[in-house]
Amino acid sequence: MYSARMEEVKENIFLYGDPSVCRFIPGFFSASLKSLSDPVAFAFLDVDLVTSMRDCIKFIWPLLIDGGMIYTDDSCDMEVVRVWFDDEWWRREIGCRAPGYVGSGCGLPIDTVFSSLGYARKVSDPTRSYKHVPWLHYPEDGMDGDLPSMSDSR
């Protein structure tokens, strides 16, 4: 159910992609991904299993460039999505905080029928990439007492 013959994989890439830019590595993720060493800017995962997602993250995330993204086709499977929020696992296995995941539980709204796509982005310095908005409270701002309402302009 969760595997395919190499011929089937190559046929799908030939039909829907460009095999000339692909490197095919047979085997289970826990063994085959150990051979990766080049920087990764973008990865697409469709793994369906928690153990497979962890294996892929363990070998791909350290190679992912700052600002790089991992998209998955597993956003409707909350057991698999939970991996992206498991701070304890991320600190132990990857050495950083869990990055979270956009599309958790419902997928990105790219189709009116169904979408199971979601993504995580590697950002080494979130303060550089994400801007604060005036209607949210940020603990690091040191605000005590009343929070501003959406009508407040600060």
Identify the CA nearest to 119 among candidates 79, 68, 47: 68
Domains and CATH numbers, the chain: 6-141 (3.40.50.150)
pLDDT truncated to tens, each residue of the chain (154 aa)?
Answer: 677 899 999 999 999 999 998 888 898 999 999 999 999 999 999 999 999 999 999 999 999 999 999 999 998 899 999 999 999 999 999 999 999 999 887 778 877 777 889 999 999 876 665 566 777 766 666 654 444 444 444 4
What is the pTM for the complete model shown?
0.76
- CA-to-CA distance for 30 and 109, rounded, in angstroms? 32
* Identity of residue 149: S
Token pair recorded at residue 141: 């701002």
The answer to whether 9 and 15 are in contact (CB under 8 A) is no
Among 65, 54, 4, smallest CA distance to 30 is for 54
Give the long-range contacts of residues 125-134, CB within 8 A, separation 24 or more: 129/67
**pLDDT attached to residue 101:** 93
